[in-house]
A = this chain, B = another copy of it.
Amino acid sequence: MAKPTCVVVGVGPGNGAAFARKFNRQGCQVALLARNQNYLNELQAELNDAKSYVCDVTNSAQIADVFSRIQGEMGPIETLVYNAGSGHSCTIENLDIYEYESDWKINCQGCALFSQLVATEMIQRGEGNIIIVGATASLRGGANFASFASAKAAQHSLAQSMARHLWPKGIHVAYLIIDGPVGKSRALDGSARDNQAFLQPSDIADTAFFLTTQARSAWTFEVDLRPHVEKW
Contact = CB atoms under 8 A, between A and B. Distances in A.
Q: How large is the interface on A (under 10, 10 to 19, 20 to 34, 35 or more residues)?
A: 35 or more
A143 B157 CA distance: 10
Nearest to A226: B219
Copies of this chain, complex-wide, total: 4
Contacts of A168: 228-229
Most buried by B among A141, A150, A216, A222: A150
Interface of A: 60, 91-93, 95, 97, 100-101, 104, 108-109, 112-113, 115-116, 119-120, 123, 137, 140-146, 149-162, 164-168, 170, 172, 183, 196, 198-200, 203-204, 206-207, 210, 214-232
Contacts of A140: 157, 160
Contact of A92 (B166, B204, B229): B166
A interface secondary structure, majority: helix
Contacts of A141: 156-161, 164
B226 A199 contact: no
19 contacts: A92-B158, A93-B119, A93-B120, A100-B112, A101-B109, A104-B109, A142-B160, A143-B165, A146-B165, A151-B154, A164-B232, A168-B228, A170-B228, A199-B218, A204-B218, A207-B220, A219-B228, A220-B225, A222-B224
A167 B179 CA distance: 14
